[in-house]
Amino acid sequence: MIHYLWHPVSLKMLQRIKKWHILHKDEHPFEYQLLDWVLILWVMACVGWLPAFVLEAEWLLPLCLLGMTLPNVYIGCRVAAHNQHRLRCDWLNQLE
């Protein structure tokens, strides 16, 4: 099994996961909102690193880097929790 903390998650995977969450929004409302926040912060980081660099706000660059890795960290943590039987993750089949 691929460890998603270190392997990039493609946009197609993110799209499939997001579609699954939209279809199951009523059954998993917290998980739906959490993924929305992960994706919002990811987009903010991807867009924000260039203005932070140009405006010489070096303190923002580590936050942007962290935000750019957020989808991988989120999915990796969910996969790990599912494999350790601490959390059920019904959308794992969307990663393939």
Whether residue 16 lies inside any domain: the answer is yes
Is residue 23 one of the residues assigned to a domain? yes
Q: Is residue 1 part of a domain?
A: no
Give 58's contacts (C-beta < 8 A, 6+ positions apart).
52
Angle between helices 70-83 and 29-54 (to 10 degrees): 150
State which residues of the chain have pLDDT below 70: 1-7
pLDDT score for 44? 94
Residue 5 in any domain: the answer is: no
Output the average pLDDT for the chain: 88
Is 4 a domain residue?
A: no
Query: How many domains does the structure of the chain reveal?
Result: 1
pLDDT for the residue numbered 4:
53
Query: Using an 8 Å Cβ cutoff, are 48 and 64 in contact?
Result: yes
Asked if residue 27 belongs to a domain, the reply is yes
2 domain residue, yes or no: no
Ramachandran category for residue 2: left, alpha or beta (phi over 0 → left; psi -120 to 50 → alpha): beta
- The closest of 6, 20, 1, 2 to 72, measured between CA atoms, is 6
Query: What's the CA gap between 78 and 43, in Å, rounded?
Result: 20
What per-residue confidence (pLDDT) applies to 1? 47
In a domain? residue 66: yes
Full residue range of the structural domain in which residue 67 is found: 11-95
What are the Cα distances from residue 44, in Å, to 69, 86, 93?
Answer: 12, 30, 28
pTM as predicted:
0.84
